[in-house]
Amino acid sequence: MKNFNKPVYLAAGAYTISLGTGRNEFHPKKPRPGLDYYIQEAGKAVLSQINSPENIDEGVIANFMAARFNRQGNLASLMTTIHPSLVHKPMIRVEGACASGGLGIATGVKNILSGLADVVLVVGVEVQNTVKAIYGADILAGAGYYAGERKEGHTYFFPAKFSDRAGAYFEKYGKDITRQAMAHWYANAVENARLNPLAQEYHNTCKDLVSQGMTQPDAKTFTEHLNIFDCSKVSDGAAAILVCSEEGYKKLGLNSDAVCEIIGLGQVMANLISSPADLTELDASRKAANDARDMANVGIGDIGVFEVHDCFTISGLLSIEALGIVGQGKAPELVINGETKLTGKYPVNTGGGLVGYGHPTGASGVRMAVDLWKQMTGKAEKFQVDLKKEHGMLISMGGNDKSLVSVIVKK
């Protein structure tokens, strides 16, 4: 990927509550908000931070499976419900499984670089609590090669895929230390979520999270190597942010201290049909991260905060290795030693991540960008880290390491 031809910035980020089991407001038998509600809530929260919605030139909406979860297509048109000034402006929908939000950010960046827009509103949304979990697992299996894998696959398709990755990692690097690290990852995610009022685990009151995370997996009812605490939850929610040129953010009435600059972008696709060469590595994630760092011309030691795609605790461990924070097999020790906590050397998923905040699939990549923007501009409130380095990095992953977007930002 070529270098940017001009600076690109993130501004005015916001996201909704991640609604689902764990939130006090959630009740499976009571009516809940739909897609349009979440799109409007996140979008209007962005508009409240700028001088006029008239200055938004285009929109991108990221979503994975609204056609099945909600029987709704044509989502780009729903963006016009955020404000009347968006009617008749260019809008587009993007999809890349769980990396849909990351692709939304990448698309917004490319729209700015094209010169056709100065301000792009990017919204990510997913409403998944519309079906029973077992049916939802089948819908989410569409992030894999459905025609070739689903028939012989596990009832809980993607948890089983990452259970297989966990089992391979246990065998290669040691089960005890890895299992402990997965429990510590869960505990850290919930601890961070308790600092984020919008997080799905915000109301979690468990006193011994590590012990809870160490719950023995039950292969008869779930998967062989993952328990339910290793998994991100079924979530409804949305996130939104503006991607701008310098002229664009100034046109919005914003100062430089209200934005952060995107200086690195890596976007790669792997073959959906082929199986991973090594279950203990995320090869495509590594390539996307390397591409982003090469473009940004920064090393891992220059980055002060990270957002990784921990759809499962094991994917969190694999991601920090793929990003190059540590080498292969070294993630468990790093996590157990507390280095990924808010006060650690490598703060990860400060607002809770997918395990703690929740995983409204199409929104997750955008939510990651919002949390990086919050950290870079000092707006993260109780989960703000003491940034001693001026860069942040995210990796948004779709499927079993198939669709990847990595972004590096600068204060």
Give the tens place of pLDDT for each residue, 258-267.
Answer: 999 999 999 9
Give the residues across from 234 on adjacent strands: 359
Which one has a higher pLDDT value, 96 or 151? 96
Q: What is the mean pLDDT of residues 216-226?
A: 96
Percent of the chain with pLDDT over 90: 97
Give the residues across from 270 on adjacent strands: none
What three-state secondary structure class fits 149?
Answer: helix
Cα 98 to Cα 365: distance, rounded to the nearest angstrom:
8
Enter the tokens of residue 381. Answer: 């409130």
Per-residue pLDDT of 184-212, as tens digits, reads: 999 999 999 999 999 999 999 999 999 99
Residue intervals in the chain for CATH 3.40.47.10: 8-132+234-259, 152-198+206-230+260-410
pLDDT at 1 over 80: no
Q: What is the mean pLDDT of residues 12-26?
A: 97
pLDDT value of position 148 = 93
Class for the domain spanning 8-132+234-259:
alpha beta
Count of CB atoms within 10 A of residue 1's CB?
13
Q: What is the mean pLDDT of the chain?
A: 97
Please provide residue 256's backbone torsions phi and psi, each rounded to the nearest 5 degrees: -65, -25
Enter the tokens of residue 167. Answer: 């089992």
The b/e string for 95-133 (b: 16+ C-beta within 10 A; e otherwise) is bbbbbbbbbbbbbbbbbbbeeebbbbbbbbbbbbbbeee
Would you give the DSSP letter of residue 53?
Answer: G
* Domain range 152-198+206-230+260-410, its CATH number among 3.30.470.20, 3.40.47.10, 2.60.40.1120, 3.10.20.30: 3.40.47.10
Based on the number of CB atoms within 10 Å of its own CB, is 80 exposed (0-12), middle (13-18) or buried (19 or more)? middle
Per-residue pLDDT of 102-115, as tens digits, reads: 999 999 999 999 99
Spatial neighbors of 218 by CB under 8 A, at least 6 apart, are 227
pLDDT value of position 195 = 98
Question: Rounded to whole angstroms, what are the CA distances from 17 to 198, 357, 368, 375?
Answer: 4, 9, 14, 19
Q: What is the mean pLDDT of residues 73-84?
A: 98
Q: Interior CA angle at 124 toward 318 and 115, to 5°?
A: 100
Alpha-helix residue ranges (DSSP H) falling in 194-302: 209-213, 246-251, 283-296
DSSP letters spanning 249-313: HHHTT--GGGEEEEEEEEEEE--SSSPPS-TT--HHHHHHHHHHHHHHT--GGGEEEEE---SBH
Cα 122 to Cα 137: distance, rounded to the nearest angstrom:
27
